[in-house]
C-alpha cells in the first residue's frame, strides 16, 4: 500500500492542523469530589450530634422558657434521676459524697454556672435540697433544664 497526498479544495492552500488538547494540562478544578466529601461529613455530624448529650436520660418538664446562651467553658450538669439518685456529668454520685465533690469541682472551675436536670417525677423538696447543696458549694448561677414547648401561664401551649 502506498501513501498519497491529497489536495484540499480551499484554493490550493495548505491545511493547518490544530493541536489536540490531549497534551495540554487541565486548568479547571473538579469540585464534584469535594462536594461528595462535604455531604458525607454533613451526614456523619447529623448522626453523631444527638449522641453527644451529656448525662443519663430523664423526662424533663416542659416550660415556655428560652434556652441559655452558651459559654466557652463546658457546662457542669447535675442530674436528679426519677428515683432521686444524683449524677454529676455522667458519673453517679452518692448523696454523702455529693457536697464534697461539688466543692472540689468549684475550686477547679472558672465560672459558677451549673445546669440542674431533674426528672419530672421528683418532688420540689428534692430539687430544692440539691439547689441548696449547689449554692453552698459555691455555684450561685443555677439553671434549671427543661424541654421547650410546654404550657405558658396564659393557658396556651408554647
* Residue 121 placed within a domain: yes
Q: What's the angle, vertex CA 148, arms to CA 142 and CA 153, rounded to 5?
A: 90
Cα separation, 96 vs 1, whole angstroms = 104
Find residue 79's DSSP bridge partners: 87, 117
Which own/partner contact pairs does 150-153 have at CB distance under 8 Å and 24+ positions apart? Answer: 150/61, 150/62, 150/63, 150/64, 151/62, 151/64, 152/64, 153/64
The three cell numbers locating residue 79: 442530674
Question: Can you give the residue range of the structural domain that contains 105?
Answer: 78-146
- 43, 47, 50, 53 alpha-carbon torsion, rounded to 10°: -100
User: Please, which pLDDT band fits residue 43 given cuts at 50, 70 and 90?
Assistant: very high
Within-domain flag for 54: no
1 domain residue, yes or no: no
Residue 28 lies in a domain: no
Could you tell me the CATH number of the domain that includes residue 128? 3.30.420.270
Three-state DSSP at 117 gives: strand
Q: Is residue 12 part of a domain?
A: no
pLDDT, residue 156, reads: 63
Buried b (16+ CB within 10 A) or exposed e, 52-75: eeebeebebeebeeeeeeeeeeeb
> Strand, helix or coil at 132?
helix
Give residue 106's pLDDT. 84
Nine cell digits for residue 156: 396556651
Q: Is residue 35 part of a domain?
A: no
37 within a domain of the structure (yes/no): no
Asked if residue 96 belongs to a domain, the reply is yes
Residue pLDDT, tens place only, 63-121: 777 766 655 667 788 999 888 889 988 888 888 888 888 888 888 888 788 888 888 88
pTM of the model: 0.53
Q: Which of 124, 156, 144 is nearest to 60 (CA)?
A: 144
Q: Give how many domains the chain has, as a whole number.
A: 1
Amino acid at each position: 500500500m502506498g501513501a498519497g497526498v491529497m489536495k484540499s479544495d480551499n484554493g490550493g492552500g495548505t491545511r493547518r492542523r490544530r493541536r489536540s488538547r490531549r497534551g495540554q494540562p487541565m486548568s479547571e478544578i473538579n469540585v464534584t469530589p469535594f462536594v461528595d466529601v462535604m455531604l458525607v461529613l454533613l451526614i456523619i455530624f447529623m448522626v453523631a450530634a444527638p449522641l453527644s448529650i451529656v448525662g443519663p436520660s430523664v423526662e424533663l418538664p416542659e416550660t415556655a422558657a428560652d434556652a441559655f446562651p452558651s459559654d466557652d467553658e463546658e457546662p457542669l450538669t447535675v442530674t436528679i434521676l426519677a428515683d432521686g439518685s444524683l449524677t454529676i456529668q455522667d458519673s453517679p454520685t452518692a448523696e454523702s459524697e455529693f457536697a464534697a465533690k461539688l466543692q472540689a469541682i468549684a475550686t477547679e472551675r472558672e465560672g459558677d454556672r451549673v445546669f440542674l436536670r431533674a426528672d419530672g417525677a421528683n418532688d420540689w423538696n428534692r430539687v430544692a435540697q440539691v439547689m441548696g447543696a449547689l449554692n453552698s458549694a459555691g455555684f450561685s448561677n443555677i439553671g434549671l433544664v427543661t424541654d421547650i414547648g410546654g404550657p405558658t401561664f396564659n393557658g396556651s401551649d408554647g
